[in-house]
A and B are shown apart, each in its own frame.
Chain A
Amino acid sequence: MKSDITASLLQQIRNFLGNDLYDIYEEYPYPLIRINTDRLHETCRFLKEKLHFIYLNDVFGTDRFTSEDRFEVIYHLISLRDQQRFFLKVYVDEESPTLPTVTDIWKSANWNEREVYDMFGIRFHGHPDLRRMFLPEDFKYFPLRKEFPLLGVPGSLELPNTTPDHE
């Protein structure tokens, strides 16, 4: 029953994307596809409007630590009508890590994209308020990149002054 929906869903996406659908990950417990980065925004709109994925659950990045296509960003969507999860993956290059934003499609992408920016330094074009999510703006590193040490860079975050300020 459920696999029928999944199969028809994948068929529709295949028809829509054609050769821009790079990969379908069969091992994954949910449908997970990798697409051409240039068609991301268009595909997201198609998924929301035609296939009823109105609920964006999560956006997150991964550092693959390869010389080309270093980062990947994964979009996790839910269709409440079909009781279906869907995962969409794009690769991002290290040289110019930018992606088009999807905040105009799903409002909830706002914080998630800020988190990806904070952790990996991937910028989102057209994001309304791209600030760091967790770390202060003064921090110059992106901690979830693999080259960042677990204990951080000494002195990159300041400690408070321990002599009370007389003001």
Chain B
Amino acid sequence: MESDHITRKKPTFFKEHQEAIYKSLEDKHATVELDKSDPLSTRMILNMGPQHPATHGVLRILMELDGETITRCRLDTGYLHRGIEKMAENKTYQEFMPYTDRMDYLSPYSNNVAFCLAVERIAKIEIPEKASYIRMICSELSRISSHLLWLGTMIMDAGAISYFIWTFREREKIYDIFDEVAGHRFTVSHSRIGGVNNDFTPAAVEKIQKFIREFPKELQDWHKLLDRNRIFVDRNKGVGTINPEDAIAIGLTGPSLRGTGIAYDVRRFEPYLHYGEIDFEVPTRTEGDNLARYYCRMEEMSESIRIIEQCFQKMPEKGPVRIDDAKKAYPSKDEVYYSMEGLIHDFMMTDTGVCPPAGAESYHAIEAPKGELGFYIQSDGTGHPWRLKIKSPSFSNLQGLEPILDGEMVADTVVIIGGLDPVMGDSDK
């Protein structure tokens, strides 16, 4: 009978697209199908997003529900797709750097570092030692800041609002540090090809030292509140479980992969910058559920503090922060303002910039807070990349969401999304 079906309204926009995604779920016509024989079994298609507070942006999920269990789901991404790879082909390497800030906007510094390292590898540029330590310190700070936002929003999705306020208080301290170091709160664009823009000011050093002194205590307090919190543990334990074989097969990366027991961390896999000389642990868990990801990320934050401490010990007191080669990096501002050559070089850098050899290809990956972030660059000898491919961690992790959600309860969806911590700007390119 027609009246038993609540027919879906015809889509009003992007009709073919909507049809295709519903067809992919093999349900074109109805949102609710009532089975007359058993009134309790109800198949239903639930559309979540793209505007939903718990999707961390604009993710859209179509779920096929059987009662409260998700039997199948499809993700519809691309609501933030702006064509960053197309834009990269039309920018010089230095011009493209600010765009990397806006990819994974929870940890912009890591993206800057990843991009600069990739360009430095293809153009064969060595950076000064001090610059690499500054990059390491700031990347670890941005890792903490990203995990803080994850913690706040994930627990907010699970029902506790106050955590968001506490983690944001700590995040504001990191913003203040970046404000002092780079001049902006979080889209910093501080790293440059061939080094970094400027050295730490004494005030910035003091702020970072203060932060790494005080932050472990906060972390301890949060551990105390959450580790044995009945509601939090019940909400997360055994939820969103994935075993290591499936995690590898579907290509999870970052803390989500390490939560299943596979210690794949690019900082260890192929150390970049000075991570080879630093003593740190790669936290892993074997359960593979949401709680395991929580523990991994919490331990990563304290490891980051350890890394920053060691970096400060090893960082040279004095030294250049950018290489002194006008063909490869921007000259210092002193040079630009007081010498003719400096001005010309500055102009040339802005106009053409770094030109890697024609036909060269290169790949460099770093461990961003979300996982492996890599840049593949193909050069045609000009100042613009011929092709720039971003291997973004959120994209890989989101793909894992489809198999993870199968068989879970619909109420756990928001916690699982929170646990995987996708950023749509990163995933949608």
A residues adjacent to B (C-beta < 8 A) = 25, 27-30, 32, 54-58, 60, 62-63, 74, 76, 78, 80, 83, 85, 87, 106-108, 110-111, 115, 119, 129, 131-138, 143-144, 148, 150, 158, 160-161, 165
Contacts and interface: CB of A to CB of B under 8 A. Distances in A.
Given A30-B363, A108-B250, A135 B389 contact: no
Given A57-B391, A78-B264, A131-B24, 17 more contacts: A27-B360, A27-B361, A29-B121, A29-B362, A55-B248, A57-B251, A57-B374, A80-B262, A83-B270, A85-B363, A108-B251, A108-B396, A115-B395, A132-B78, A136-B78, A144-B83, A144-B85
Interface in B363-420: 363-364, 372, 374, 376, 378, 386-387, 389, 391, 395-396, 398-399
A110 B396 CA distance: 10
Contacts, number: 107
Contact of A108 (B12, B262, B399): B399
A48 B386 CA distance: 30
Contacts of A56: 251
Contacts of B360: 27
Contacts of A132: 17, 78
Contacts of A55: 248, 251, 264
B249 A108 contact: yes
B391 to A, nearest CB: 5
Given A58-B389, A131-B20, A106 B77 contact: no
B269 interface: yes
Contact of A137 (B12, B14, B85): B14
B21 A138 contact: no
B15 interface: yes
Contacts of B77: 133-134
A138 B396 CA distance: 25
Closest 7 CB pairs of A and B: A108-B251, A134-B78, A134-B81, A136-B17, A137-B17, A136-B14, A137-B16
A60 B389 contact: yes
A80 B264 contact: yes
Contacts of A107: 249-251
A133 B79 CA distance: 10
B161 interface: no
A136 B360 CA distance: 34
Majority secondary structure of chain B interface residues (helix, strand, loop or mixed) = mixed
A8 B262 CA distance: 25
B86 interface: yes
A12 B78 CA distance: 40
B429 interface: yes
B90 interface: yes
Contact of B12 (A32, A58, A165): A165
A158 B14 contact: yes
Contacts of A119: 85
A133 to B, nearest CB: 6
A85 B78 CA distance: 29
Interface in B339-373: 360-364, 372
B87 interface: yes
Most chain-B Cβ atoms within 10 A of its Cβ — which of A56, A111, A115, A129?
A111
A115 B386 CA distance: 18
Given A83-B269, A129-B24, A144-B86, A106 B361 contact: no
A55 B246 CA distance: 11
Contact of B399 (A25, A111, A138, A165): A111
A108 B391 CA distance: 13
Contacts of B387: 62-63
B428 interface: yes
A48 to B, nearest CB: 10
Contact of B81 (A29, A60, A135): A135
Nearest to A145: B86
A37 to B, nearest CB: 19
Contacts of B24: 129, 131
A135 to B, nearest CB: 6
B81 to A, nearest CB: 4
B338 interface: no
Contacts of A78: 264
Given A28-B361, A29-B363, A135 B78 contact: yes
A138 B14 CA distance: 6
Given A28-B362, A57-B372, A60-B376, A111 B12 contact: no
A137 B90 contact: no
A136 B361 contact: no
Contacts of A28: 361-363
Interface in B243-271: 248-251, 262, 264, 269-270
